[in-house]
Structure 1
Amino acid sequence: MTTRFDPRSAEFIAHPYDVYAELRADAPVVFHEATGQWLVSRHADVSALLRDRRLGRTYTHRFGHEEFGQSPPDPAHEPFHTLNGNGLLDLEGPDHTRIRRLVAKAFTPRMVEALRPTVARLADELVTGLLEEGGGDLISAVAEPLPVAVIAEMLGVPAADRHLLRPWSAAITGMFELNPSAGTAERAVRASVEFSDYLRALIGERRAAPGEDLLSALIAAQEDGDALSEQELVSTCVLLLNAGHEATVNTTGNGWWALLRNPAQLALLRSDVDAHLPTAIEELMRFDTPLQMFERWVLEDIEVAGVRIPRGSELALLFGSANRDEARFAAPDRLDVTRAENPHISFGAGIHYCLGAPLARLELIESFGALLRRAPDLTLLREPVWQPGYVIRGLTELQVTT
């Protein structure tokens, strides 16, 4: 079957939801020749597959590259693959279980909750700056700096070095797009080396003089004599920045764009911020999902919605489509900030459910809350343009006046 799914098209990236609806209705599981992936678009299927242990974020824990029918990665990209391959996102089996257990000992709900005053202060300072300027780009003024400042504060990165983090994150996450270019790969490799070297030096300082920060806690985390290796520490810190940062930034930008083009919902939210903000945050993550696609390798032959998919295939789980599935959500194309039942999958599911979800929700609550309370006249200056990336989907800017 031919499909209008085209992740390289600016028109599709700007509005993929009509195409998703066609896929759910006519071809909920279909092979897409251009990307070499099986597209899975229905909520029930995506949700189940995220929990299915016959799939994996990687296959190398069970198969060699040739055995699995895949080409080995370019040796020139080794620094990126070493960094990415030792983080929770791409690990499977006992390695994933072990590292997640150790990280959870340091990155606790209590630690996240203790950050609330800091996050609230940082959000308020950023909103103050936007108000003093009379407006500007909400993404560069508020959305981007907040999660970087929070994770830097958590890890104990000195204030003078924090400007390095965002460019490194942007370069590394470029590799998560479909078929990244040679230039994208070069930038990701360079950033992987620079970020890793920086963190190794910081780890050395914390080993010598532990502090109250998360990095010190990760170094100290032990279970039955086991601890994170230096590479695992580096990869964990990078993942905390990259995963948390990209999701929070794009939920903020996409979310405010959704609210500004749905003025009745924005007015309802402003009418009682305390009552409606928790459900609004969940709805904004559902309505314009920041991570549109999450990939899985098929480790054993499986059948999905009556379609047989052989081992060695790659699935493209379409989060953006699953979150608009009419079989799971009432009036899914309508923004509803009071939506009570909202089983969106924006944070994933199963063993790879986002470890940083509580922190992301905290940052979103504080940043949206500060803007809603302190900028009641926030107005869109001009319609925004979407970035060219599809997998991590967000706006280039969101120009507003206050």
Structure 2
Amino acid sequence: MPSVPMRSTTLDLSAPAFVADPYPFLAEERAQGPVAWHEASGMYLTFDHAAAGAVLRDRRLGRIWRDREPAAYLEPFNLLHRHQMMENEPPEHTRMRRLVSSAFNRGHVERLRPRVRELAAGLLAEVDPDGFDVIGQYAEPLPVLVIAELLGVPAALAPDLRDWSQAIVKMYEVAPSEAVVAAAVRAATDFAATVREVARERAADPRDDLVSDLVRGGGLSEDEVVASAVLLLNAGHEASVNVFGNGLAAMLRAGVRPPGDTADEVATCVEEMLRFDSALQLFERTATAEVEVAGVRVEPGRKIAALLGAANRDPAVFDDADTFRADRDPNPHLAFGAGVHFCLGAPLARMELVESLGHLLRTVPHLTLAAEPEPRGTFVLRGYHRVTVSGTMTNPTTSEGDR
């Protein structure tokens, strides 16, 4: 079957108007076709759900890590990515994911649920309901404390972990500045040294945490243990914070709430938060063999990116796609990816989001936006620096999950 004529796009992924609200631009591109060549980034971009899903699931499209240049200077950053499962394909990916998944699924998510509730209650007890930053005072500290506890990293290091994570993930944006690169190198160096020290301590004295499980398994090198721990912290922290902030702002702007306060009803709303304003907007793959996506032939060695935010607003899949509907069901979004690289931490992220959103809405039931949210000004990882809210504080009622 011959491929369709290739179209190109001049979409500027760093333009302020696009970064502020990419969805009208993505809709215009989708109307012209599901795939386009993007000369500025040197890769193909997808604009609908079907094409993005194909990119994520086709095994001929892999995650092929290539060290960033200059390699010697960026070695601390490269080391953390070269040895993590997300940047490798089978059989290495299969080996690492099996070992990390086995450790991750050893009851750690449910073990942490009471702790999430405790942290949520404690954080909200410290805010002023007349006006508080739900990102800085609630959504941001909660997941990093949870991930630190999951891994076995001292809670006192939580502020450092948050800073390191934010510095590293800025490298994923389009054309990071010299200052961003330097900060990422410093963060990767300090981050790796901290996790390496914890890993060595757990090898000598195992505890009930994920790093102990990773070390105990014996199938991962020390570099792979460090890279896996950093991946889980970065992915878990950034996704949870940005999904919460983006989704809550969208929900409050729309003037809607979950249809009820049961865990299932809050979970349905969380899925819409994941879909409506995706925290991760772009996930790239490299063709290891010739492959067609939506009729467009992608040559070996070429990159193609699934634009997840565009996929999650595809009107062919989602009725009234540009409207936040807290009761949307079904909701086949691609916020956690698909295929072999489907987000390993999705169960933990979903649990955190359901518990933290439910507790917030029960504690501050008449929550409203008190100011215009302040965006981070990034596209690949989309989120807010600050979301100021206000409301009347009450004693939260018991959720279905607490009964």
Q: Classify the secondary structure of the residue corresponding to 1:246.
A: helix
**Cα contact 2:109–2:347 (8 A) shared by 1:** yes
Alignment of 1:114-263 (within 5 A): 114-130=111-127, 132=128, 134-222=130-218, 227-263=219-255
Distance 2:106 2:45 in 1: 35
Query: Which runs of no fewer than 5 residues in structure 2 stay unpaired?
Result: 1-6, 392-403
Query: Which runs of no fewer than 5 residues in structure 1 stay unpaired?
Result: 66-70
**Cα contact 1:59–1:299 (8 A) shared by 2:** no
- 1:339 is aligned to 2:328: yes
Match of 2:81 in 1: 84
Q: Classify the secondary structure of the residue corresponding to 2:375.
A: coil
Provide the identity percentage: 48
- 1:54 is aligned to 2:46: no
Distance 1:161 1:98 in 2: 30
**One-letter code aligned to 1:241:** L
Distance 1:59 1:111 in 2: 29
**One-letter code aligned to 2:350:** R
Distance 2:352 2:380 in 1: 22
Match of 1:35 among 34, 38, 41: 41
Distance 2:21 2:72 in 1: 37
Q: Classify the secondary structure of the residue corresponding to 1:217.
A: helix
Counterparts in 2 of 1:309 and 1:24: CA distance versus 1, 3 Å? same
Q: Classify the secondary structure of the residue corresponding to 1:328.
A: coil
**Cα contact 2:10–2:39 (8 A) shared by 1:** no
Listed one character per residue, the Cα deviations across residues 182-228 of structure 1 (whole Å, up to 9, x for unaligned) are 22111111111111111111112111211111111111124xxxx21
Distance 1:128 1:7 in 2: 40
Distance 1:216 1:364 in 2: 26
Match of 1:328 in 2: 317
Alignment of 1:271-282 (within 5 A): 271-282=260-271
Distance 1:103 1:55 in 2: 23
Distance 2:350 2:58 in 1: 26
**Cα contact 1:87–1:236 (8 A) shared by 2:** yes
Under a length normalisation based on structure 2, what TM-score does the superposition of the two structures give? Answer: 0.91
* Alignment coverage as a number of residue pairs: 385
**Cα contact 2:337–2:343 (8 A) shared by 1:** yes
**Cα contact 1:171–1:187 (8 A) shared by 2:** yes
- 1:26 is aligned to 2:32: yes
Distance 1:110 1:205 in 2: 22
Q: CA RMSD of the aligned region, Å?
A: 1.8
Task: Tell me how far 1:384 sits from its aligned partner.
Answer: 1.4
Runs of 4+ aligned residues of structure 1 deviating over 3 Å after TM superposition are 1-4, 71-74, 270-275
**One-letter code aligned to 1:309:** V
Which stretch shows the higher mean deviation, 284-293 or 31-40?
A: 31-40
Match of 2:347 among 358, 362, 368: 358
Match of 2:90 among 88, 93, 102: 93
Task: Tell me how far 1:272 sits from its aligned partner.
Answer: 3.8
**Cα contact 1:4–1:19 (8 A) shared by 2:** no
Alignment of 1:295-334 (within 5 A): 295-334=284-323
Counterparts in 2 of 1:84 and 1:298: CA distance versus 1, 3 Å? same
Distance 1:376 1:51 in 2: 40
Distance 2:69 2:132 in 1: 45
**Cα contact 2:8–2:37 (8 A) shared by 1:** no
Match of 2:110 in 1: 113
Q: Classify the secondary structure of the residue corresponding to 1:338.
A: coil
- 1:349 is aligned to 2:355: no
Distance 2:315 2:70 in 1: 39
Match of 1:68 in 2: none
**Cα contact 2:71–2:78 (8 A) shared by 1:** no
**Cα contact 1:270–1:372 (8 A) shared by 2:** no
**Cα contact 2:139–2:245 (8 A) shared by 1:** yes
